[in-house]
Amino acid sequence: MTDTAPRKQTETVPLHDVGLAKAATLLRRGGLVAFPTETVYGLGADATNDRAVASIFAAKGRPRFNPLIVHVPDIKTAMRHVDFNDTAHALADQFWPGPLTLVLPRRDRCKLSPLVSAGLDTVAIRLPAHGGARDLMRLLDRPLAAPSANASGTLSPTEADHVLASLDGRIDLVLDGGPCAVGLESTVIDLSGATPVLLRHGGLAVEALEVAIKGPLARATEDTHAPKSPGMLLKHYAPRLPLRLNVDEAAPGEVLIGFGPSMDDPNLSRSADMTEAAARLFRLLHAADDPKRHAGIAVAPVPEVGLGIAINDRLRRAAEK
Ligand code: TXA
Ligand code: MG
């Protein structure tokens, strides 16, 4: 975390008309507002304002080479900023609004701050399914640059309290819309090259994308794509306590996060439902990550199918030393 972020008074307000109006006013002045999406809470700034976008990096302590996702309220707005190709149209028609981010070439004379692209000639763009997030962007009438609303390298926030836990005093406002329905960040796919490439597993299962593009989706490797999606490289989503994976029985002092019907609480999903497990993942990790109560966190095996692939990806990054 850098020390360049000025100290601010962070207010939390419910996501309703008064809250939205307040948020839009702050954003118009270049402020930072955390808001709920269906995936995780985003830390929003006016994507057309260089200073506002720069302050996101300062508040999060985020490396400047790591580009940001730009959020839009409708496809028409997206098409003003990036060049859509046939695959982009097909995927947007099928999966937007929803937890899918498309990386596409920036349009000529695009009004977005170059900082959102961190030096690349592409923009990652997403139309969120959360009605409150879209209401905010319509009211503001500008796109929102928004990474997850947490200090860089810490667990992503799926509730307003998680945002405050790492960004209190560094941002202007938190719009509290309750827990996020999906609970995992969006799936990121690069459509700027000759063939689509998966950059990040996330809230849209990769199997659904492969049906849509009628074939297997190429996976980015750190060798081929690190410079294109620096976020892939970083240790991410880390709790404070050590984390062990694929564990059936807790060691002394450890709290075990279970999965499936045979395991006690806390449990990602007793019915082994992947959607429920995804929605609960970060909440259970945040709650378990208490050094006063536990010496470590253990997590039961989660099957590597559907959203389980993204869940295991986040768990592996969180366990990275
Ligand atoms: O669900 C989400 O995606 C949430 C909510 C708030 O929308 N946002 C989020 O943002 O997770 P962030 O900044 O934590 O993750 C963005 C990821 C990073 O891995 C980044 O490297 C990648 O997207 N990315 C952004 N712009 C890119 C670009 N132009 N080319 C390649 N990768 C890009
Ligand atoms: Mg993040």
pLDDT class for 2, splitting at 50, 70, 90?
A: very low
Which atom of ligand 1 is least distant from the CA of 128? 7
Look at residue 3 and tell me whether its pLDDT is greater than 60: no
- Tokens found for residue 133: 């997030």
Give the Cα separation of 190 and 256 in Å (integer). Answer: 36
Q: What is the mean pLDDT of the chain?
A: 93
Of 5-9, 39-43, 193-197, 217-221, the one with minimum mean pLDDT is 5-9
Q: Which residue has the tokens 């010496």?
A: 295
Percent of the chain with pLDDT over 70: 93
DSSP assignment of 198-240 = EEE--SS-HHHHHHHTTSPPEEP-HHHHTTT-GGGTS--SB-S
Residue-level pLDDT at 226: 60
Centroid of ligand 2 to alpha carbon of 218 (angstroms): 22
Residue bearing tokens 């029985």: 249
Average the pLDDT over 95-109 and give the result.
97
The pLDDT assigned to 233 comes to 57
Report the nearest-CA residue for atom 31 of ligand 1. 229
pLDDT digits over 110-163, tens only? 999 999 999 899 999 999 999 999 999 999 999 999 999 999 988 999 999 999
Q: How far is CA 271 from CA 56, 188, 262, 287, 301, in A?
A: 39, 28, 10, 21, 14
Q: Which of 58, 62, 66, 138 is nearest to 97 (CA)?
A: 138
Residue 129 CA to residue 97 CA, distance in Å, equals 4
What are the residues whose beta carbon lies below 5 Å from ligand 2 (ion)?
148
Q: How far is CA 101 from CA 5, 59, 70, 88, 211, in A?
A: 28, 23, 9, 10, 17
> What residues contact 25, with CB distance under 8 A and at least 6 apart?
none
Find the residues whose C-beta lies inside 6 A of ligand 1: 37, 39-40, 42, 66-69, 101, 103, 117, 120, 122-124, 126, 146-148, 185-186, 188, 199-200, 228-231
DSSP, residue by residue, 59-102? HHT--TTS--EEE-SSHHHHHHHB---HHHHHHHHHH-SSSEEE
pLDDT score of 65: 82
How confident is the model over 55-98, as pLDDT tens digits? Answer: 999 999 988 888 999 999 999 999 999 999 999 999 999 999 99
* Burial (Cβ within 10 Å: 0-12, 13-18, ≥19) of residue 70: buried
Which atom of ligand 1 lies nearest, measured to the CA of 120?
29
pLDDT given at position 4: 60
DSSP string covering 137-179: HHHHTS-EE--BSS-TTBPPPSSHHHHHHHHTTTSSEEEE--S
CA 87 and chain centroid, separation: 23
pTM: 0.93
* β-strand pairing of 100-105 with 173-176: unpaired
pLDDT per position as a tens digit, 219-251 = 887 666 665 566 665 556 789 999 999 999 999
pLDDT (0 to 100) of residue 20: 97
Average pLDDT over residues 192-213: 95
H or E segment and range at residue 14: strand 11-14
